[in-house]
Chain A
Amino acid sequence: MRSAASVVSVRGMSVKFGGRAVLNKLDLELVPGSVTALVGDNGAGKSTLLRVLVGALAADEGSVRVLGFDPTRDGARLRARVGYCPDRFEVAERTTAREWLEFVARFYPTWNLAEQRRLCELLELELTPRVAELSKGARAKLALVAALTHEPELLLLDEPFSGLDVAARRAVASAVIGHLREAGRTVLVVSHSVADLERVADRVALLEAGRIERHDELEAFAAHGRRGVDLEAALLGAKQESYS
């Protein structure tokens, strides 16, 4: 049953690479204002799912609606309302961070310079260096700022904590995503950093063998674990259940 209020609604969606189904008859609903952690093993298809949702990859079957759009047909219009922070962020090395943000700003009518400044200060991101001079963490911050500054209705984050130092991780987890939740935005975040996910997520979706095996409230998900109440243990328990 598709919820009319869903920000993301995926039904029976499959994606195949060279005949191998990476995502297989997957169903997923994201309600507005939720912060959902998408977890699963390496190669489970988490990044692939995000790419489908942002329209960078067409599903082989099934239906996908994001903010009411078909990502394949209306990708450009959809991406104007979605913030996507990819796991791999590559831009021309000689471009400065400021030039890149100025370039990206041209594509978003809702670009908010005040928000850009706030985020840069929060994440301690310098805008004057060339991209070639930026550390891995600084590049991740730049990608995050580019994805957030136009105040998207839906934020898709693929490993946003990767390469960040502890302070930056806390800033992203609490100040950034927490701020989005308070603003009623919907977030789907992929990460292997369970501690960070616990800090920000209110729901957890477990992706196993190309399907969403469990999708539940964080507390309910954690309480399901056999060996404790923390998310990490719950995840391990859920995996063992799915294997047995």
Chain B
Amino acid sequence: MSHVLALVRQQLRESRTSFVLAALATSAAIGFVHAWFPGPAAVSEAAALAIGVLAALWTLYFASDSFAGDSASGRLATLSVLPVSSRALWASRLCFVACASLAQLAWAIVVGYGCQLALGDARSLAHFENGLDSYAPWAFALPVLASAGMLASLVVDSALSAMVSSLLLLGGLAAVLAPLTRAFASIGVDLRLSAGEALAGAVLFAFVLFMLGAFSFARGQHRLGARRVRAFHAAWPLGALVCVAGIATAAEHRRRVAVELDSPSAKFHRASASIDGSFLALPVWHDLSGNQDPPPNVWLLDLDTGRRELLARPGQLILDRYLHYSLPWSFEKPQHVLQINPLDFDELKGLLELRAGVETWSVSTLSARAGELPSWLVTRAVPAWASVDWERDAQGVRSTIVRWSERGIERRFTDTIPLRGVLPTAVVGRVLRLREQALVHHDLQSGSEQLVLQGATGETMWPSPSGGAVLVSTEDARISLDASTGAVLHTPWPSEEWSVAWIDSNDDARAVELRAIGVPDAPSRILDLETGVEFEVERERGHGLLLRIAQRGYVFVRADGDLVLVDLQGRLVKVLVER
């Protein structure tokens, strides 16, 4: 013990210039705060913050200088041939760092109080003390900084390098531990800490780093205090920690992104069927309660044979850009599956091209940017004669631009939402437009308008997947209309009784799902507006998927969780995925 004290005293003696300079810098910084900040409250809080920052800075500095400079200059080698153990030498440096840091902290507090007494009043003093109290819990960061600084000081040659290295070390560990915490959270282990636990954790973490430093220092001393040996022994436990955390994170990431069709946690929200109705491209989400949902996997199902194949992990279907329906696919128009995450459309980088045959299918990888996509991969609700675009002006007002290329006509509809406020119809040159509570047919050639429906409310209509029909709300009802002719397709549904929505489909079918409002657990009703066939289905609402496949029927998740195919009359045809 006497040897440790002798070493500490010597170190303090050798560092007296640093002490004086640090104390002067502290005084100047706190004085500057008092001169610069206006008002007693701001000054007091800033001074308290400055004390915290300075304490952290000096702790990091003295810890970072504990070995680096002496090691590079050879002074550490001279000390090493004294009759002291490496443990004593290490302990003396630790004591020195503690003494130096606490002394600087105490000095900063004294200067802070001194400034308050000299320049402040009772109110500002109270603010100052409150500020100190609020930063006090952060004191746990000091041993962490000290331990990281001392560890880095064993590896590099200068205090400045050690300061930077220790901050990088702490940042790197935080970067590893953050995903690890999320990984544990996903398996139900909550690593988030209370204030007390964080304090204990920080002390424990600092202790581990101190021990690691002591170990690497002792090992280095066996080789002439070799820095390389110290660095090796300091690095491998940290490397092991990073590797373990990395492997755990990777494993958890894989668990998160890998979702099987049969998994009870699988969620089905969208699907896209081939035009011939033989195949289903099915994005499957992993429902992890309490966590950010990972991106889905895309599976391909053969509806005839039941064969299934993973197409993309992670992946997502490209949906109708404006209406968010699925985009059917065929040999002629292969479906493209967005292959990457994030699912921002503009970030589109990789595409899978599906080519389905009678008995086999093939997948190839393409690449394209969103702006290069063919129009049929943007929406299918716009007829061939027209194209739709939109832009936003400086005031943020959105305009829909409809172009009739053959005639060279371009018409701008200000303050409208593409396809929901302005919809080109199958009749060439005719646009269905919602304006001033009226639904009108607008003739692009002449600019003339013809009233279709008076009394429409809201600013949007709901086109069907192919754009051939729309749903429009009035004061008291939902009305289905043919987009081209304006003909009413079905008796209006009272708004207070029924919720109505188009059913996604791979053809031009006009089918709606009806749900009774105010009746909990009421079954859905599926209504084909063309044939008038209507039936009930027990559909699990947690899964958004409801898709009509050509003339084969409807795909949805039954109340028991199975993914099923029913025919157009509602009779079960096949359980596609049993869960």
Contact = CB atoms under 8 A, between A and B. Distances in A.
Given A95-B14, A107-B3, A76 B81 contact: no
Given A88-B77, A90-B73, A94-B17, A103 B6 contact: yes
A86 B225 CA distance: 14
Contact of B74 (A75, A90, A94): A90
Contacts, number: 60
A57 B83 contact: no
B10 interface: yes
B224 interface: yes
Given A95-B14, A107-B6, A86 B84 contact: no
B85 A91 contact: no
Contacts of B83: 76-80, 107-108
Interface of A: 51, 54, 56-58, 72, 75-80, 84, 86, 88-92, 94-95, 99, 103-104, 106-108
Interface in B378-424: none
Contacts of A94: 14, 17
Contacts of A90: 73-75, 77-78
B78 A89 contact: yes
B222 A72 contact: yes
Contact of B14 (A57, A77, A79, A92): A92
Main secondary structure of the interface of A (DSSP, over half): loop
Given A76-B84, A84-B81, A107-B84, A56 B6 contact: no
B186 interface: no
Interface in B325-381: none
Q: What 4 pairs across the A-B complex have the smallest Cβ distances?
A: A90-B74, A80-B83, A79-B83, A58-B222
Contacts of B17: 94
Interface residues of B, number: 24
Given A57-B224, A95-B13, A99-B13, A104 B74 contact: no
B571 interface: no
A86 B77 contact: yes
Contacts of B13: 95, 99
Given A106-B3, A106-B6, A56 B74 contact: no
Contact of A79 (B2, B73, B82, B221): B82
A145 to B, nearest CB: 14
A89 B75 CA distance: 8
A79 B75 contact: no
Contacts of A92: 14, 75
B163 to A, nearest CB: 21
Contacts of A58: 222-223
Main secondary structure of the interface of B (DSSP, over half): helix
B82 A104 contact: yes
A51 B222 CA distance: 10
Given A54-B81, A79-B84, 19 more contacts: A51-B224, A56-B77, A56-B80, A56-B221, A57-B223, A57-B224, A58-B223, A72-B222, A79-B81, A79-B83, A86-B78, A86-B81, A90-B78, A91-B75, A94-B17, A104-B82, A106-B3, A107-B83, A107-B84
Interface string B62-87: 00000000000111011011111100
A200 B184 CA distance: 71
Given A57-B223, A91-B75, A103 B81 contact: no
A90 B75 CA distance: 5
Contacts of B82: 79, 104, 107
23 contacts: A51-B224, A56-B221, A57-B222, A75-B85, A76-B84, A76-B85, A77-B83, A78-B83, A79-B81, A79-B84, A86-B77, A90-B74, A90-B77, A92-B75, A94-B14, A94-B17, A95-B10, A95-B14, A103-B6, A103-B10, A106-B2, A106-B3, A107-B83
Nearest to B221: A56
Contacts of A95: 10, 13-14
Interface string B206-226: 000000000000000111110
Contacts of A108: 83
Contacts of B77: 56, 86, 88, 90
A91 B79 CA distance: 8
Contacts of A76: 83-85, 88
Contacts of A72: 222
B14 A56 contact: no
A83 to B, nearest CB: 10
A21 B37 CA distance: 65
Given A91-B75, A92-B14, A95-B14, A56 B81 contact: yes
Nearest to B85: A76
Contacts of A107: 3, 6, 82-84
